Structure 1
Amino acid sequence: MTHEDLIDRAKITDHVLKYATGIDWHQWDLYRSIFADEIMLDFSSWSGDPASIMPADDWVAGVRATLEPFDATQHVLTNFVIDLKEDRANCICYMAAHHHLVVDGERQMHSIGGYYVHELERAGEGWLIHKTQLNVTWEMGDRGLFELAARRGGASIA
């Protein structure tokens, strides 16, 4: 592995970690900055919906509307496996996502775990995510918290 490969691996890891940081700290500009303008998303293991291509701005707006109403979220990414091929890279990382909502004075939680597969392309000195696939391998808690959070945020989940 070359020195440049090590630098790229560090850049990709730091870049993908912004996924979790942007969501949990409600830094939506940071979250948006990690994606190409158009992205392919495959969250079928979570939602059952087929993969789709959409503008990154629409994706970020949807994630914001869904997760910002929670009292707290914590997205943990670890065990990065990065495969570099010139100006393209695949990054697989474990994930655990915890969603906390206070309901009638009591803290409720929903958690999922699994792994992401991100496809990135070099963009200038950095990288951008062009495709993201979530692979859920476990789930705990009540999914109904997402509907409660959406109502709190003034939206509804279809």
Structure 2
Amino acid sequence: MTDQHLRDRHDIVELCTRMGWHLDHCQWDRLTDLFTDDIRLDYTSLNGGEPVVLSRKDVIAKWRGNREGLAATQHLISNQLVEVDGDRAAATAMFQATHLLPNQLGGPLWTLAGEYRYGLLRTPDGWRIEALTMSVIWAEGNRNIRDLAVQAD
């Protein structure tokens, strides 16, 4: 394994971890630097439909709208595997995302767990996420808090 391969792997793991960290801490400006201009998102395992390509501005605005009505979120990302092929890479990670919103209409927590698959591109500014697929393996709790959080804004 070369030094460059180890640096690439480190940078990619750090990048993918920062995605959850900045989202949980509502650091919207810091999320911008993690993505290419356009991102292919595939959340079909949760929402149905088809994958979409959105600008990073639109992705962050969507995540912000979903997050800001909640009291807190916590994205735990682990078991990261990285494959680098020149200026492109693929990474996988297990995740558990807990969402908190105390409310009078049900439990305060909704937790999703599954796998993220990242498509990455090496740019002059470093690695960036150009594709993200979320595959839900299990969920528990009150999914309705997602809608309640959006209504609260």
Task: Tell me if TM exceeds 0.5.
Answer: yes
1:119 correspondence with 2:119: yes
Mapped contact 2:75–2:98 kept (Cα < 8 A)? yes
CA distance in 2, matches of 1:27, 1:132: 19
Question: Which AA in structure 2 matches 1:102?
Answer: P
1:80-99 matches, within 5 Å, as 80-99=80-99
CA distance in 1, matches of 2:107, 2:48: 27
Mapped contact 2:107–2:142 kept (Cα < 8 A)? no
CA distance in 2, matches of 1:124, 1:33: 12
CA distance in 1, matches of 2:41, 2:27: 20
Task: Quote the residue 2:40 is aligned against.
Answer: 40
TM-score, normalised via structure 2 length:
0.96
Residue by residue over 1:52-81, the C-alpha shift from the partner in whole angstroms, topping out at 9 and shown as x without a partner, is: 111110010001001121001000101010
| Percentage of identical aligned residues | 30
TM-score, normalised via structure 1 length:
0.93
CA distance in 2, matches of 1:134, 1:28: 20
CA distance in 2, matches of 1:25, 1:52: 25
Offset, 1:22: 1.0
1:25 correspondence with 2:25: yes
Question: Which AA in structure 1 matches 2:144?
Answer: G
1:59 correspondence with 2:77: no
CA distance in 2, matches of 1:22, 1:37: 18
Structure 1 runs not aligned, ≥5 long: 154-158
Mapped contact 1:100–1:107 kept (Cα < 8 A)? no
Aligned residues: 152
Q: Which has the higher contact order (CA 8 A, sep 6+)?
A: 2
Structure 2 runs not aligned, ≥5 long: none
Structure 1 stretches (4+) deviating beyond 6 angstroms? none
Q: Secondary structure at the match of 1:102?
A: coil
